[in-house]
Chains A and B, each alone.
Chain A
Amino acid sequence: MDMLEKLGILADAAKYDASCASSGTDKKHAAAGKGIGSTEGMGICHSYAPDGRCISLLKVLLTNACNFDCLYCVNRASSNVPRARFTVAEIVKLTLDFYRRNYIEGLFLSSGIIRNPDYTMEQVVAVAKSLRLDHGFHGYIHLKTIPEASEALITEAGLYADRLSINVELPTEAALTALAPEKSIPSIRRTMGRLRLKLDEAKSEKHLKHARRFAPAGQSTQMIIGADASTDRSILDLSANLYGSYRLKRVYYSAFSPIPDSSLKLPPKAPPLMREHRLYQADWLLRFYGFQVSEIGGKGGMLDLDIDPKLAWALANRDRFPVDLNRAPREELLRVPGLGSKTVERLISARRYRTIRSDDLVQLRLPLAKLMPFVVLGDHKPSGLLDSERLSALLRPKPTQMQLPF
């Protein structure tokens, strides 16, 4: 099999992992005349595919052969897809060749489980090790971690990788048992816990000269949305739990997507992209806007698909409004629909010098229709609309606009 064909199979097999982030790691770069690569804090998306997703890393599997039979996965043992396997040297060369042409920020390497967890993890780590030690590669490396791998391999992975991740895959133990019989949440959690202890240790030793490096861009995970019957509420509960317990940098949500060779046991339908989008918005509210999971979500624990979760919260909590943009504290401004965290900082800075008026909001190109019913300004008080039944209907998209974003 030639490289073209192999790459086709092993990239196709890797695309259901949503993460392509290359940000948040330590700053480092090759010395003049020696080695190659740099990371400067901010990630770079080198291209975008027509699915709107950023292409930052070379995201491939070492092999798509797998002992596990996870029903949602295109690479499960019982799937009919063609199989391929890269050698360590092949991936190393491909990564460097792409990197030198400025196609990518680095490598995101994952693998099907072959032989046993340690054997597979060893191969994955060998790629990162060769890039770093044999080629002086200073680009970004994200390694998928196999929960059952040995302590020594995980420590070594952290030495070479910028980020490590383990996917929790599904929001509940029951769903995981049903759809991914070989995976176990306790084992995933134990390893996330091990990773956090190592990350904390590396961080506390950072000031020391010979501090051991351990995945400076931290750990992340992914959950598949829509393959089981879990509610948004239970998904967000798990996210809050994972952020708090293991200090994850990100929880990625991946709408379950029809796969070329999907299992008989899963309903084939278009991926719930809007639901995925609303979950990301809710996730942001949890992390940057001071919301608790208990405040988010509506009937039956599901997020409203028509309007964003902050607007939904505001409509359900109108006694908290209107908010005076000239006086309210930051925490209250962050809860106003249509105000992002950057805008809030701008308003706080500007209101020390002037009274904020409607024109200023126009100037900042804010979504006035959404914003005005909820705020008081120097020249504006909301009409009776805030208490009106009509407000909710007005702020919902018209039926004709109800489409998934194209």
Chain B
Amino acid sequence: MHRIALTGPTNIRGWREAARRLARQDVDPADIAWVVEGAAESDLFGGLPASPQASSAPEGPAFSVPRAFLGLAETVILHRDPERFALLYQMICRLKDNHDALEDSVDPLVVRLNGLARSVRRDIHKMHAFVRFRTVETEAGECFVAWFEPEHHIVEAAAPFFARRFASMRWSILTPERSVHWDGEILRLSEGVERSEAPTEDKLEDLWRRYYAAIFNPARLKVQAMMSEMPKKYWRNLPEASLIKPLIDQAERRSVDMVALAATAPNPRPQRTRVEIPVASVVEPLGSIQALREAASGCRRCPLGVPATQTVFGEGPEDAGIVFVGEQPGDQEDLAGRPFVGPAGKVFDAALEEVGIDRGRVYVTNAVKHFKFVPRGKRRLHQKPNVSEIQACRWWLKQELDILRPRLVVALGLTAVRSLTGQPMTLEVARQRRLETLEGAPLLATIHPSYLLRLPDEAMKAREHARFLEDLRRVAAFANAA
């Protein structure tokens, strides 16, 4: 039997050194008694002399354990369970044979160790949550002192959090086992103290209790949910806990009262604090693009308006001779409220620049003015508008064209062709034909720039891009001829 005496309850270094040596000597876990010097933990083998540091047994080859195990051991060793050293040693023996043994996450030993680590982490988390500082006037000025009773040996592990958070305060956290102090620069640990050494009140606690009582909703009493997150053992050190019982006792009456008294008459002098009426914006003449845009902003002529963010109306000078019509706004356009500002818009802008068309001199709009999509997790998948949606939105497009009276309309993609001509046809056909809009304006058809973004084949992409530029050069020539 080997008796290993560690110098402290959380002495991870001592444990590691001993465990490494014993494992290399192939010592059976059942033959080791792990104890903490001077601890009250029962020491059945107290009569045995501590094993000599350098045992004579031959050592096997060195071996490594996964990094995850070291992290686990550092946490588990903070647990109060006296078996923790032995369980960790069992795991080491397991890892010596099988480096991946920790990943067998339903193995009883792995489950047990993970469970211990979880309670330790929870205890640290609860300490971060439930410590309540009280102010004490000292010679050095205001100091914040708290009393806390952790379940495990976690004070040292929990302390750096308070140092980061309360960096500019002087504070102490007193516990029965150890205490920790911060002077603004250095964390210092000291012995545990009696509860009576901690301050018993703070001037802010009345306010805190008032807040606690006010934020509670008596119509939603769920005592179990509270108890599982804030077990009774913490209550004696929480200033607000004295309210729990009275709040629960009154809750039912209060919520019954609220229901019974529910129907109160509206306040005869309602709260309207100096309502400032916004200055009416400059009234646009009817029949202007701006008036049309405003009228379209609440459009519900088809169902697409409800799930979308906003109507994305056309944009450009009213005397633009050339109108570009796309399919519909995409994700970015829907968010920004402007046409052709997303990835396809960038392709479009670059192409315009290449052929020498100033986007600021043309009018850009869409056949359908709301984004049609289906949500998929954190994204939206574009959906093609159907004929009735195109039809419903033609109402706006017609009015835009009637105001603008363009000399040339450019349809970007099939949806625009469909909308502008009212005819179904393939894009290839549309590109080769001399077309007119239903309003009688000359119409030139080309691809939608997003088509170029979808082409996987580079050679084909280059070819199609060149053709797109060729179409736009015809538009540019037309613009310059005017």
Show the binding face of A for B, using Cβ within 8 Å: 3-4, 7-9, 11-12, 14-16, 29-38, 40, 42, 44-55, 58-59, 65-67, 69, 77-80, 83, 94, 97-98, 100-103, 112, 114-116, 119, 136, 173, 186, 189-190, 192-194, 196-197, 240-241, 243-245, 247, 255, 257-264, 266, 268-271, 273, 287, 346-347, 349-350, 352-354, 356, 360, 363-364, 405-406
Contacts and interface: CB of A to CB of B under 8 A. Distances in A.
13 contacts: A32-B184, A36-B168, A51-B226, A67-B271, A98-B211, A100-B166, A101-B144, A245-B375, A245-B380, A258-B255, A262-B264, A264-B264, A268-B262
B255 A38 contact: no
B211 A58 contact: yes
B210 A8 contact: yes
B261 to A, nearest CB: 8
Contacts, number: 287
Contacts of A101: 132-135, 144, 202, 204, 208
B107 A40 contact: no
Contact of B107 (A7, A34, A36, A350): A350
Given A103-B132, A116-B278, A353-B103, A257 B273 contact: no
B298 interface: yes
Contact of A197 (B104, B212, B258, B335): B335
Contacts of A363: 106, 108, 111
Interface residues of B, number: 97
A364 B100 CA distance: 20
Most B CB within 10 A of own CB, among A8, A40, A46, A51: A51
Nearest to B114: A346
B1 interface: no
A11 B106 contact: no
B400 interface: no
B215 interface: yes
Contact of B380 (A78, A100, A244): A244
Given A46-B130, A51-B217, 7 more contacts: A7-B214, A12-B214, A36-B165, A55-B212, A101-B134, A270-B259, A271-B219
Given A55-B212, A67-B271, A363-B111, A48 B226 contact: yes
B103 A47 contact: no
Contact of A69 (B202, B270, B274): B270
Given A50-B248, A287-B377, A354-B106, A67 B273 contact: yes
Nearest to B335: A193
Give 6 closest A-B pairs by Cβ, nearest first.
A52-B225, A244-B375, A52-B222, A268-B262, A78-B266, A11-B214
B128 interface: yes
B209 to A, nearest CB: 10
B221 A51 contact: yes
Interface string B133-163: 1110000000010100000000000000101
B282 interface: no
Nearest to B142: A100
A30 B169 CA distance: 11
Interface string B306-335: 111110000000000000000000001011
Nearest to B108: A363
Contact of B167 (A36, A55, A270): A36
Most B CB within 10 A of own CB, among A38, A69, A115, A244: A244
Interface in B70-121: 100, 103-108, 111
B291 interface: no
Contacts of B210: 4, 7-8, 11
B296 to A, nearest CB: 12
